[in-house]
A and B are shown apart, each in its own frame.
Chain A
Amino acid sequence: MTDGMAPLLGPALGLSAILFSLGVAGVLLRRNVIVLFVCIELMLNAVNLTFVALAQLHGASGQVMVFFVMTVAAAEAAVGLAIILSIFRHKQSVDLQNINLLRG
């Protein structure tokens, strides 16, 4: 029924689900902190796809949301990479196993 109005909605959401799961798998699998970050960016992109797909239903708000997500992702990437740089300076390593000072 909605084919005329939103033809690719279903498949787009499915693709988004797959991409998100792939991002999660990457976060769980990798030890390199930078690759971890990249996988997080993958997850954010999947979410952006969801927003855009549903913008066909709910109007331009979806696209505005994507706008904001991108901005925040950019800011987060900048700060996160700066943190990784300072950790690397101290520990000479970007291995996740070595970053364990927040122990309880």
Chain B
Amino acid sequence: MTEAVFWVLAIVAVATASMCILSRSAMSAVLWLTATMLSLAAIYVLLNAEFIAAIQVLVYAGAVMVLFLFVVMLLNLGHATTDMRGPAAVAATVVIAGLLAIQLFALWTYSPERLAAEMTQAPQTGDPATLFAAGQAARRAAVEHGVVGAVAAPLFQVYLVPFELTSILLLVAIIGAVVLAKRKI
């Protein structure tokens, strides 16, 4: 059942993403991307990352994309005009993106099954049971403390310092954005 849902959502995501990159105007691109993000959020739920799914909708689709929309409308670009680059660029795109896809699929072949199989052949590096131990521990934690607690606990304990740094990063971004966007400094 979940598999079927997943495939549907996957096809939606790919379709909307393709429409995004082939869109005719900036506005449609933004909107298509928002659709892709929403389908991704649904996929996150299927992958037991409920909290992240919520954040995706709230922050990414809800705030960041809205920001994009604001800027697009502010710029008032007018008619949709084709702004694709020339044939040379298309050729380069096909080559590079194709190679990239191939490489990433090559990474896919290193799926956990294969990794586990390789590891059984070398038992001294550990057995597959321990491979997924962390994930299972996380599942149990999620059951105990709730999904938010499962993410919050490592965030405020193990990753406290990056958390604080990120807050400073946001401050810097705010100041930067304000300064850059002013007409007169």
Contact = CB atoms under 8 A, between A and B. Distances in A.
A and B touch in the complex (CB under 8 A): yes
Interface of A: 1-2, 5-26, 28-32, 34-35, 37-39, 41-42, 45, 48-49, 52-53, 55-61, 63-64, 66-68, 70-79, 81-86, 88-89, 94-96
Given A28-B92, A31-B85, A52-B49, A78 B14 contact: no
Nearest to A53: B47
Contact of A9 (B40, B105, B112, B134): B112
Interface of B: 2-3, 6-7, 10, 13-14, 17-18, 20-21, 23, 26, 29-30, 33, 36-37, 40, 43-44, 46-49, 51-52, 55-56, 59-60, 63-64, 67-68, 71-72, 74-75, 77, 83-85, 89-90, 92-94, 96-98, 100-101, 104-105, 107-108, 111-113, 116, 128, 131-132, 134-138, 141, 150-151, 153-155, 158-159, 162, 166, 169-170, 172-174, 176-178, 180-181, 183
Contact of A2 (B37, B49, B107, B116): B116
Given A57-B131, A67-B151, A19 B17 contact: yes
Contacts of A25: 21, 93-94, 96-97
A79 B100 contact: no
B contact patch SS: helix
A81 B68 contact: yes
A103 B155 CA distance: 43
A81 B159 contact: no
Contacts of A63: 49, 51-52, 150-151
Given A59-B138, A59-B154, 11 more contacts: A1-B113, A1-B116, A8-B3, A20-B100, A34-B29, A42-B17, A60-B151, A68-B159, A71-B170, A74-B60, A84-B75
A82 B132 CA distance: 43
Given A21-B100, A29-B85, A67-B55, A5 B136 contact: yes
Contacts, number: 254
B135 A85 contact: no
A37 B24 CA distance: 15
